[in-house]
């Protein structure tokens, strides 16, 4: 793309880091942004159509595949896909049993969904940078980011969903008083009533910061790792079309990074799932 359209490396990178955005234009009309500047001007009310589209498609793929296996499951000699799905279910179930001490039938299915869904979204990072955007450009679609987890809106949405569930179950299990006591009676404790009162604002500040940091770190860890990986793929793709030597070297680097990135995308899905289980376990603990 860089050579065929005679654009600079900076323009190439900015193009591939711009989402297909729907929102309100400066003149008050609604529509798709045609440039990166238009997308930025749309502000917080804009919708990243590509991130939402690929998220829904990959989520539907996960549901379809597991439902298909569940419907056709056999107790004799299972097919390869059934073996694979059963292995994933057992893997997630072992992690839930090892990290979650409460009783909640929601946790294991939620952990399985998050692991598979995030893995599939991360897996899109292995699709060559130019393939899908070039194909969609034939139909007049100028921007296309196909890795939803490189969009902080997606990772924050996932993390905030877990955060709100954690707050809900904390209040439900401990009661409003127990949840409030966790925020104002720890980590500093005292038997003296005066000291107890004095420690309340300090405890609340420390616990509130700890509470708010959970969804922030939960989302930014996934986003940061996937964004960095996507950026490296984009930088490597700049070598293609710059001469036979750089093209061959770029192809070699892309293969090596793709092999290493398989570990990254799996690990990030696993970490997000494990943190979800841990946060849900904290919500179900009694102090």
**Token pair for 5:** 């359209």
Q: How many whole angstroms separate alpha carbon 232 and alpha carbon 180?
A: 45
Q: At what angle do helices 80-99 and 107-123 cross, to 10 degrees?
A: 120
Q: Which of 19, 95, 225, 237 is catalytic?
A: 225
CB-CB contact of 119 with 273 (8 Å) = no
Q: How many whole angstroms separate alpha carbon 119 and alpha carbon 114?
A: 8
Q: Tell me the CA distances in angstroms from 199 to 174, 181, 188, 205, 208, one per residue in order.
A: 21, 12, 7, 10, 14
Q: How many whole angstroms separate alpha carbon 101 and alpha carbon 132?
A: 44
What is the gyration radius of the CA atoms in the chain, in angstroms? Answer: 23
Q: How many whole angstroms separate alpha carbon 31 and alpha carbon 135?
A: 22
Place of tokens 């405890």: 203
Q: How many whole angstroms separate alpha carbon 237 and alpha carbon 230?
A: 11
Residues 6+ apart with CB under 8 A from 240: 246, 247, 250, 251
Mark whether 68 is an active-site residue.
no
Mark whether 221 is an active-site residue.
yes
Place of tokens 């070297």: 249
Q: Which of 3, 83, 210, 217 is catalytic?
A: 217
CB-CB contact of 21 with 143 (8 Å) = yes
Q: Which of 99, 104, 161, 221 is catalytic?
A: 221
Beta bridge partners of 47: 22
Q: Residue 187: is the preceding peptide bond cis (ω within 30°)? A: yes
Mark whether 72 is an active-site residue.
no
Q: Which residues are catalytic?
A: 217, 221, 225
């Amino acid at each position: 793309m860089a050579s065929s359209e005679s654009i600079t490396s900076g323009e190439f990178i900015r193009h591939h880091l711009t989402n297909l955005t729907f929102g309100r234009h400066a003149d008050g009309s609604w529509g798709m942004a045609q440039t990166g500047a238009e997308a930025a001007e749309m502000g917080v009310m804009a919708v990243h159509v590509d991130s939402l589209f690929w998220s829904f498609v990959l989520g539907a793929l996960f549901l379809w595949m597991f439902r298909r296996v569940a419907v056709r499951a056999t107790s004799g000699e299972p097919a390869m896909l059934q073996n694979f799905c059963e292995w994933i279910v057992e893997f997630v179930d072992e992690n839930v049993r090892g990290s979650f001490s409460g009783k909640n039938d929601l946790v294991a299915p939620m952990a399985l969904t998050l692991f598979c869904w995030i893995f599939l979204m991360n897996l899109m990072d292995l699709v060559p940078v130019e393939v899908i955007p070039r194909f969609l450009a034939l139909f007049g679609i100028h921007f296309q980011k196909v890795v939803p987890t490189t969009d902080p809106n997606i990772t924050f949405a996932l993390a905030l969903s877990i955060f709100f569930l954690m707050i809900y179950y904390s209040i439900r299990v401990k009661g409003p008083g127990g949840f409030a006591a966790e925020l104002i009676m720890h980590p500093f404790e005292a038997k003296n009533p005066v000291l107890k009162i004095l420690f309340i604002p300090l405890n609340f500040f420390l616990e509130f910061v700890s509470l708010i940091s959970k969804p922030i770190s939960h989302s930014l860890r996934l986003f940061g790792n996937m964004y960095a990986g996507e950026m490296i793929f984009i930088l490597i793709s700049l070598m293609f079309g710059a001469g036979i030597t750089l093209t061959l070297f770029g192809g070699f680097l892309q293969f090596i990074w793709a092999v290493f990135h398989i570990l990254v995308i799996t690990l990030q899905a696993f970490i997000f799932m494990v943190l979800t289980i841990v946060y849900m376990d904290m919500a179900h603990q009694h102090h």
